[in-house]
Amino acid sequence: MYRQVLYWFAIQDNYYQYTPDRFPVFILSDREVYGFPAIGGLKGGLKLATEVYEQVTSPQVVNRMVSTAETQTMYEQHVAPNFAGIGPACVKSAVCLYTMTPNGDFIIDQHPDYSNIILASACSGHGFKHSAAVGQILSELALKETTEFNIQAFRLARFFSL
């Protein structure tokens, strides 16, 4: 598991430019940052996060506190250069855990011995971003025991030497 931090930074100017009708969910892949439009009202902030795999941890020992230094780094490296009208004040932060397979891809497969059992590990927040496609694949497997998608890369057997 990896520790991930989510931030909500204060919107200083023109809150409405960051609402869902004007501002999309986004991923800045070259900067490893993603976020969501403002939905928490004038004081709710703009939600942003990075997806980094540096701090291996577990639920029992994860550091749930977000330091001032972490918040300042996030603002200086990702918020200030990319988002006009977003201030350095962090109105909220949260720590979550990402589970990951050894190669970072999902597990989507039928049980090797029982085809009526579907195995799926969409891997925490990483999978959430792909939930529409994963959901379609799982519904096809549940209803038809097959899918039109090529899921070879997500088969459980890839982790075992046969």
Quote the pTM value: 0.76
**Mean model confidence pLDDT for the chain:** 90
Over residues 73-127, the pLDDT tens digits come to 999 999 999 999 999 999 999 999 888 887 778 899 989 898 889 998 877 666 7
Over residues 24-46, the mean pLDDT reads: 89
- What are the start-end ranges of the E strands in the chain? 2-11, 26-28, 33-36, 46-50, 86-98, 107-110, 118-121
pLDDT value of residue 61: 96
Measured CA to CA, the distance from residue 53 to residue 100 in angstroms comes to: 9
Measured CA to CA, the distance from residue 42 to residue 65 in angstroms comes to: 25
Measured CA to CA, the distance from residue 47 to residue 42 in angstroms comes to: 13
Measured CA to CA, the distance from residue 99 to residue 63 in angstroms comes to: 16
Helix (H, G, I), strand (E, B) or coil at 58: coil
pLDDT(132) > 50: yes
What are the extents of the domains in the chain?
A: 2-98, 107-159
Can you read off the two tokens belonging to residue 1? 């598991």
The correct CATH number of 2-98 out of 1.10.10.1590, 3.40.50.1370, 3.30.9.10, 3.10.310.30 is 3.30.9.10
pLDDT(65) > 70: yes
